[in-house]
Amino acid sequence: MLKDLPRYECLLEAAKQFPDLDPSATEVYLHLLRTSDDAFGALTAHLHRAGLSQGRFTVLMLLIDKGTGCARASTPAELADRSGVTRATMTGLIDTLERDGLVSREPDLADRRMMSVKLTAKGEALIHDYLPGHFRRTAALVEPLTENERKTLVKLLAKIMGQAAVLSAQPADAVPAGIT
Amino acid sequence: MLKDLPRYECLLEAAKQFPDLDPSATEVYLHLLRTSDDAFGALTAHLHRAGLSQGRFTVLMLLIDKGTGCARASTPAELADRSGVTRATMTGLIDTLERDGLVSREPDLADRRMMSVKLTAKGEALIHDYLPGHFRRTAALVEPLTENERKTLVKLLAKIMGQAAVLSAQPADAVPAGIT
DNA sequence: CTTTTTTAGTTAGGCTCCTAATCATAAGCA
DNA sequence: TGCTTATGATTAGGAGCCTAACTAAAAAAG
């Protein structure tokens, strides 16, 4: 990822050599990645201080079962699917979380292929201690945006998300003229 | 990263247990990360097909010296700084790029601590072949947004970027009341 | 009831990224 | 000049992510 975003004149200059380069689209794309990375990095620094990583944090969040209003996950397969990582990666994550005493792994009695993953008391204490600060920092990140601006932002991001889904669905070397 | 974003009611429910949780802020944050990841993933799939990764691609882009309107980089340290990775990581990236014949590494005659990194003919051919499709896909991602929406999006993202910088600058456990 | 297919989880090996430590060279200073 | 500090690059070791191959158990098919 580029640390310093190119100036717009720079994109215009590059567009002379590459007719396919859409300067405003490239600017949006680079700002999106840069902002996401910065926002993510600002919160991840605190995660690391708590001995967590994004993957570990996501797993712990999915294992919380009280007061979240959402169904919790329990098997490695479900955790992997909902975390957006492969099952192999989830095995590794659970390995280290178990090593650190934050989760426990028990065989499922009904289906002997499956394992049941649970938060330990230590894991539950850690995530519940961590969350309030995490939510405050998240709020601080978005703080200067009005409620209307937040709605607008989510709406615009959703459009790009939709395009990304379209683009990922047609992995061939298409995209010659325009995909809508 | 959560694969499926939580529904808004779910955030409202969770906010009952965590008073610090700002539902609209969390929604923005999660949408930002999810969108960035999806957009990035859509383009990265093509990078992988070309035998590249985001890190390798960024290095090659920084090494292009013609018609980009931007100064090119040449030393590992500068490549690392502008790529946003550590120098150790850059050493590894250049190792594999050199192994694959895409870049070459030569000692700097003036300062014998430094190395000079250059694109090989093969590397230059690869990146120049790759870029047009890359730019078309980038344009496709943003295609449904009008020019005004693009400006709005960049402006809103810039606000969050600014907050991320503030948040990263004060790594202590601050953020109790509000940071502006 | 046996064989095949599917599913859950893991292992093995690779890439990218990190931090910390090391080495050589250059630059600043008494 | 000689010593100390700063800088460029690398190495070593670790974590998280991937794909591909494997094991065991359940489900489906004959």
Whether the pLDDT of residue B10 is over 90: the answer is no
Partner-chain residue, chosen from A54, A81, A180, that has the shortest CB–CB distance to B143: A180
With a CB cutoff of 8 Å and minimum separation 6, the contacts of B44 are B53, B54
Query: How many Cβ pairs within 8 Å bridge chains A and B?
Result: 306
What is the tens place of the pLDDT at every residue in B56-67?
Answer: 999 999 998 755
Mean pLDDT confidence for A141-156: 97
Of B108, B104, B107, B138, the C-alpha closest to B124 is B104
Q: Name the pairing type of β-strands B115-119 and A103-107.
A: unpaired
Assess: ipTM above 0.95: no
Q: Which nucleotide is nearest to B75 (CA to C1')?
A: D8
Confidence (pLDDT) at A180: 32
CA nearest B176 in A: which residue? Answer: A136
H or E segment and range at residue A162: helix A147-169
Q: Please, how many CA atoms are within 13 Å of residue B134, restricted to the half-sphere of its CB?
A: 26
Question: Is A157 an 8 Å CB contact of chain B?
Answer: yes
What is the structure's pLDDT at A155? 97
What's the token pair of residue A95?
């390995």
Per-residue pLDDT, A69:
55
| A144: nearest Cα among B179, B18, B27 | B179
Task: Specify the DSSP element, H or E, that contains A135.
Answer: helix A121-142
Residue A56 has pLDDT above 90, yes or no: yes
Find and give the residue nearest to D25, measured CA to C1': A113
Task: Give the pLDDT mean for A105-128.
Answer: 92
Q: Any CB–CB contact under 8 A between A24 and chain B?
A: yes
pLDDT at position A70, please? 67
Can you give the pLDDT at residue B108? Answer: 87
Q: Burial-class residue A51 by CB neighbours within 10 Å (0-12, 13-18, 19+).
A: exposed
* A110 to A106, A113, A115, A116, A141: CA distances (angstroms): 12, 9, 10, 11, 45
Q: Smallest CA–CA separation between B157 and chain A, in Å?
A: 6
- Report CA(B15)–C1'(C14) in Å, whole number: 42
State the pLDDT at residue A178. 37
Determine contact: B54 vs chain A, CB below 8 A.
yes
The pLDDT value recorded for residue B69 is: 54
Residue-wise pLDDT for B105-129, tens only, equals 999 888 889 999 999 999 999 999 9
Q: State how far the Cα of A37 lies from the Cα of A55, in Å rounded to an integer.
A: 15
Nucleic strand C under 7 Å from the C-beta of A77: yes
* Positions of E strands within chain B: 103-107, 115-119
Confidence of residue A11 (pLDDT cuts 50, 70, 90): confident
pLDDT (mean) for A61-80? 80
| Across A12-38, average pLDDT | 91
Which pLDDT band holds residue B68 (cuts at 50, 70, 90)?
low
Between B3-7, B115-119, B171-175, the lowest mean confidence (pLDDT) is in B171-175
Chain B: nearest CA to A75, how far in angstroms? Answer: 16
How high is the pLDDT of residue B178? 37
Cα(B60)–Cα(B94) distance, rounded to whole angstroms?
10
What is the predicted pLDDT for the residue at A67?
Answer: 54
Share of chain A above pLDDT 70, in %: 91
Residues of B in contact with A166 (CB under 8 A): 140
Q: Which residues of A touch B162 (CB under 8 A)?
A: 144
Please indicate whether, in this complex, the C-beta atoms of B25 and A68 are within 8 angstroms of each other.
Answer: no
| Whether B128 CB is under 7 Å from strand D | no
Lowest-confidence segment of A62-76, B18-32, B72-86 by average pLDDT: A62-76
* Residue closest to A144 by CA, chosen among B151, B165, B17: B165
B21: nearest Cα among B10, B37, B31: B10
Q: Which segment of A7-16, A119-128, B13-22, B106-115 scores lowest on mean pLDDT? A: A7-16
Considering only CB atoms, which chain B residues are within 8 Å of A163? 39, 42, 140-144
Residue nearest C25 (alpha carbon to C1') = B113
Q: What is the pLDDT of residue A176?
A: 46
With a pLDDT cut of 90, the percent of chain B lying above it is 62
Asked if A16 is an interface residue toward chain B (Cβ–Cβ < 8 A), one would say yes
Mutation site for A-interface testing, chosen from B22, B35, B68, B154 by largest number of A Cβ within 10 Å: B35
Average pLDDT, chain B: 87
Assess B177–A contact: CB distance below 8 Å, yes or no. no
| Residue-range domains of chain B with CATH | 22-168 (1.10.10.10)
Confidence of residue A74 (pLDDT cuts 50, 70, 90): confident
Closest chain B residue by Cα to residue A78:
B3
A79/D23 CA-to-C1' distance in Å = 21
Q: B141 and A167: CB-CB below 8 Å?
A: yes
The burial class, CB within 10 Å (0-12 / 13-18 / 19+), for A83 is buried
pLDDT band at A100 (very low <50, low <70, confident <90, very high): very high
* pLDDT of A42 strictly over 50: yes
A37 contacts B137? CB cut-off 8 A? no
